[in-house]
C-alpha cells in the first residue's frame, strides 16, 4: 500500500509543474493550510537531486511570503481567526506560541522553522502582537530556509540510492509510522 503511494508521489515530484505546486503548498502552509511543504520538497529533491537547492529556495521564498500573509491575518483579522483556532484545536498551541514570544521575542520565529508546532501559528501570533516586521521577515527566512535547505540537502545527498532504499522499505516505514501514531494517540488519551 505505502510503496504504491510512494511511487505515485515520486511520479508527481517529477511533474513539470511540481515546483509551482510546491510554491503554492509552501505559501498556504505558512498562513492557513495544515500540510507542511516537506511532504513535497523531500520527494522532489530525491527525484531530481540536481535541483534540490532550487526547490529549497522556492519553498523558503513561498513560505516567507505566506508567513507575511499570516502576519497580516494576525494583525488585521484575529477576531475572525480566533474562533477558527478553537474549532480546529489549535488554540492551546496558539497560547503556547504567544508565551514563547513573550519569553523569547524575535528568536521564537527563528526557532519556529524547526518546531513541531504549525508555523502558521507563529506567523499569525507575530501579527497579533505587532512584532516588528523586518525582524519577523528575516527570522522567517533564516529559520524556514534552514529547515528546507537541510531537508533538500539530505535528500539530494542520498540521491538515487536513498530513493531505491526508501522505495524498497516504504511499506515497513509506512506501517511503522502508522503504529507509532496509533500508540501516541492511545498514550495521549490514557494520559
Q: Using alpha carbons, select from 46, 49, 35, 36 the residue that is nearest to residue 144.
A: 36
Better-scored residue on pLDDT, 174 or 120 = 120
Please check the confidence at residue 178 and state whether its pLDDT lies above 80: no
**Residue 6 reports pLDDT greater than 60:** no
Quote the DSSP letter at residue 30: T
The terminus-to-terminus CA distance of the chain in angstroms comes to: 32
pLDDT 10s digits, 60-91: 999 999 999 999 999 999 999 889 888 888 88
Q: Please, is 8 exposed, middle or buried when counting C-beta atoms within 10 Å of its C-beta (0-12, 13-18, 19+)?
A: exposed
3-state helix, strand, coil in the chain (%, to 5): 85, 0, 15
What percentage of the chain carries pLDDT values higher than 90? 31
**Residue 13 predicted with pLDDT over 80:** no
| Residue 111 cell numbers, joined | 526557532
Grid cell in block for residue 80: 475572525
If one compares 168 and 57, the residue with the highest pLDDT of the two is 57
CB atoms within 10 A of CB 91: 15
Mean per-residue pLDDT over the chain, rounded = 83
Domain ranges of the chain: 2-190
pLDDT bracket for residue 126 (50, 70, 90): very high
Amino acid at each position: 500500500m505505502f510503496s504504491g503511494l510512494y511511487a505515485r508521489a515520486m511520479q508527481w515530484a517529477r511533474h513539470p509543474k511540481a515546483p509551482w505546486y510546491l510554491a503554492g503548498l509552501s505559501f498556504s502552509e505558512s498562513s492557513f493550510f495544515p500540510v507542511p511543504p516537506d511532504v513535497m520538497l523531500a520527494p522532489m529533491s530525491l527525484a531530481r537531486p540536481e535541483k534540490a537547492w532550487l526547490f529549497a529556495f522556492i519553498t523558503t521564498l513561498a513560505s516567507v511570503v505566506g508567513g507575511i500573509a499570516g502576519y497580516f491575518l494576525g494583525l488585521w483579522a484575529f477576531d475572525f481567526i480566533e474562533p477558527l483556532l478553537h474549532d480546529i484545536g489549535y488554540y492551546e498551541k496558539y497560547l503556547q506560541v504567544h508565551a514563547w514570544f513573550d519569553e523569547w521575542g524575535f528568536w521564537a520565529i527563528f526557532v519556529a522553522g524547526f518546531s513541531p508546532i504549525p508555523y502558521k501559528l507563529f506567523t499569525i501570533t507575530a501579527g497579533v502582537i505587532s512584532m516588528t516586521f523586518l525582524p519577523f521577515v528575516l527570522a522567517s527566512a533564516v529559520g524556514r530556509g534552514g529547515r528546507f535547505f537541510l531537508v533538500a540537502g539530505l535528500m539530494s545527498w542520498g540521491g538515487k540510492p536513498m530513493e531505491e532504499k526508501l522505495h524498497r522499505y516504504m511499506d515497513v516505514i509506512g506501517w511503522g509510522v502508522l503504529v507509532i501514531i496509533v500508540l501516541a494517540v492511545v498514550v495521549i488519551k490514557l494520559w
